[in-house]
């Protein structure tokens, strides 16, 4: 069943509105797992004060309302999977970041820390809570990759800033696999780095994307230009370095379908490997 915002839900839908407190909790009784993915796109525009408020509220209000609602059920679900992001770690250079690494500083780090804490009512009720910290999800249909595509397809893509900042990423197929794994692996709980075991620098990501699309990658967006165009978002989302490692996933037996970037991108675009 899907949870939707529209007031007239279909047979396989549950209507809810976390801002007004509307939710028919009876439809949630006895479910095995609830997966919560909602949150306003952080890359949808410059971070004005109003936009930052919407980004935060879309995560905090919805997550806490859902966790509180589940905690009040007579037959709550066994598992709540509520996503977070590797933005939790802030800008950490080349440091290898596992789930044991502490939080970073900045708007995204504070947001992710509060976002994960909003699930507390569910965990206090005895529900197993898993908070996958997502990296860049490789989908041409949305997210960061979709925003990059027009520029790279025109042959004017390239690194951002120095290009040395690490990007933690995950193939869409592996994200689905991780969520399925988290549903059934009862030993998995708390924060989980939902990222490939092979994070790459922004420079390597750019070169690999250009190669997969058969486009040149000569240009670069200087750091100062990124800050002028994107403001605070550039510093925290484009120029920050997060070298996250999926220690918990690998320790729990999850096998990545696409651990390497080029294979993941080729599958996403249905581009066969070039023959020599």
Is residue 169 domain-resident? yes
- How many domains does the chain contain in total? 1
What pLDDT does 275 receive?
A: 46
CATH code at position 72: 3.40.50.720
Low-confidence ranges of the chain (pLDDT < 70): 9, 271-276
Is residue 69 domain-resident? yes
What pLDDT does 276 receive?
A: 40
What pLDDT does 33 receive?
A: 96
Is residue 10 domain-resident? no
The model's pLDDT over 198-253, given as tens digits with 9 standing for 90+, comes to 999 999 999 999 999 999 998 898 999 988 888 888 899 899 999 999 999 999 99
Is residue 145 domain-resident? yes
Q: What is the pTM of this model?
A: 0.92
What pLDDT does 194 receive?
A: 98
Is residue 45 domain-resident? yes
Q: Provide the domain limits for residue 233.
A: 31-269
Is residue 24 domain-resident? no
What pLDDT does 12 receive?
A: 81
Is residue 18 domain-resident? no
Pull the structure tokens for residue 206: 């750019």
Is residue 276 domain-resident? no
Cα–Cα distance, 176 to 192 (Å, whole number): 14
């Amino acid at each position: 069943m899907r949870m939707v915002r529209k007031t007239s839900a279909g047979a396989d839908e549950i209507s809810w509105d976390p801002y007004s407190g509307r939710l028919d909790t009876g439809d949630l009784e006895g479910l095995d797992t609830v997966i919560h993915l909602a949150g306003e796109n952080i890359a949808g525009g410059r971070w004005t004060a109003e936009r930052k408020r919407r980004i935060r509220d879309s995560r905090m209000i919805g997550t806490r309302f859902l966790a509180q609602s589940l905690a009040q059920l007579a037959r709550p679900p066994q598992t709540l999977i509520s996503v977070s992001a590797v933005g939790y770690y802030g800008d950490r250079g080349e440091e290898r970041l596992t789930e044991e690494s502490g939080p970073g500083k900045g708007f995204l780090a504070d947001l992710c820390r509060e976002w994960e804490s909003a699930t507390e009512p569910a965990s206090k009720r005895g529900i197993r809570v898993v908070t996958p910290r997502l990296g860049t999800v490789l989908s041409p249909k949305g997210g960061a990759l979709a925003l990059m595509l027009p520029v790279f397809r025109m042959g004017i893509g390239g690194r951002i800033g120095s290009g040395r900042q690490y990007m933690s990423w995950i193939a869409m197929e592996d994200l689905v696999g991780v969520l399925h794994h988290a549903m059934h692996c009862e030993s998995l709980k708390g924060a989980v780095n939902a990222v490939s075991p092979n994070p790459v620098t922004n420079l390597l990501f750019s070169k690999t994307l250009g190669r997969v699309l058969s486009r040149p990658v000569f240009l670069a967006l200087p750091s100062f230009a990124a800050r002028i165009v994107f403001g605070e978002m550039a510093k925290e989302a484009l120029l920050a370095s997060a070298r996250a490692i999926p220690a918990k996933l690998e320790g729990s037996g999850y096998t990545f379908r696409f651990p390497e970037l080029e294979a993941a991108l080729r599958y996403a675009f249905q581009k066969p490997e070039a023959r020599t």
